[in-house]
Amino acid sequence: MADRNVIIIGSGPAGLTAALYTARANLKPLLVEGLEAGGQLMLTTMVENWPGFRDGIMGPDLMTEMRAQAERFGAEVMQGDVTRVDLQNRAFTLTFANGKSVTTDSMIIATGASARWLEIGSDRKLSGHGVSTCATCDGYFFRGRPIAVVGGGDSAMEEAIYLTRFASKVTVVHRRDTLRASKIMQENAFANPKIEFIWDSEVADVLDGGKGEVEGIVVRNLKTGQQMTLPLHGVVIAIGHTPNTSLFAGQIDLDGNGYIVTHDGSKTSREGVFAAGDVQDHIYRQAITAAGSGCMAAIDAERYLEGLSHHLPPEAALQTTS
């Protein structure tokens, strides 16, 4: 018999919603926060597109409220990081950084996907203060202001085109002299009068003038080495995301980019293992869609557990991690 009914790995909107729903189903879930507790919303400032908050809510505050709601119904939240997962046996085993292990009858993977950064220091420093990795999330904050988009693929063009709804001008900075985006996306971007391009260049620095908010960027031409300063008020980094799936490689099906493949809702290729949020969604990548998929995974896990003859009583689940 496994130690737990269900373990949820990840504490962003998907993981916390799954914890809420499984707790309300009296499954006594264990949620493992991971190294980045709260997910990417912990890196944002004001969230204005979460339903029910007319005036918006700070990202960290939203995560605090979601965690408290899940705990209210009996979810147990554990700080720490999972270093190894064994999905080969019917009772899945998780091993933590402190060397301890726990088994579970079902698992919900909500480890998310990490945005790729420029790794120049100032980009991460000013995250949430003019530097963003999500135009849909933060575009409204740039209304009437010039901004830059870094990248040359479909995602970058999509972000740039979307941002023209708000920004006075969008400058795309790309390392090459041609875009990697699909032909239709290129045509749409080139046809937009608000979008300009700087080719063969990279962002060498993000400037804040000592005020803690973006005031410009330093752009370096990769062919000539020349640098120029571009005054603007925002930078959207669109060079891709990396799904946090290294723990599961070789144990469940991943697509060519490392995202978990799901079917019939949140089911993975391994019976009893479910996935929710950005770890299996490379299209929408929104907090609200992640939360919705967390609900789906919780319901799928509950139905799966109902079919197990050795379903662990909630009282026993409480005792195994005390």
**The pLDDT of residue 130 is above 90:** yes
SS (H, E, C) the chain: CCCEEEEEECCCHHHHHHHHHHHHCCCCCEEECCCCCCHHHHHCCEECCCCCCCCCEEHHHHHHHHHHHHHHCCCEEECCCEEEEECCCCCEEEEECCCCEEEEEEEEECCCEEECCCCCCHHHHCECCCEECCHHHHHHHHCCCEEEEECCCHHHHHHHHHHCCCCCEEEEECCCCCCCCCHHHHHHHHCCCCEEEECCEEEEEEECCCCCCCCEEEEEECCCCCEEEEECCEEEECCCEEECCHHHECCECECCCCCECCECCCECCCCCEEECHHHCCCCCCCHHHHHHHHHHHHHHHHHHHHCCCCCCCHHHHHHCCC
Q: How many domains does the chain have?
A: 2
**pLDDT tens, residue by residue, 198-245:** 999 999 999 998 889 999 999 999 999 999 999 999 999 999 889 999
Q: Is residue 146 located within the same domain as residue 95? A: no
**Catalytic residue selected from 134, 278, 281, 300:** 134
Higher pLDDT, 302 or 154: 302
Residue 295 known to be catalytic = no
Confidence of residue 320 (pLDDT cuts 50, 70, 90): very low
pTM: 0.78
**Catalytic residue selected from 3, 123, 138, 281:** 138
Residue 134 known to be catalytic = yes
**pLDDT tens, residue by residue, 52-90:** 999 999 888 999 999 999 999 999 999 888 999 999 988
Q: Is residue 223 located within the same domain as residue 263? A: no
Q: Is residue 109 located within the same domain as residue 170? A: no
Q: Is residue 26 located within the same domain as residue 175? A: no
Confidence of residue 321 (pLDDT cuts 50, 70, 90): very low
**pLDDT tens, residue by residue, 138-166:** 888 999 999 999 999 988 998 999 999 99
CATH number of the domain at 187, please.
3.50.50.60
**Catalytic residue selected from 3, 105, 123, 137:** 137
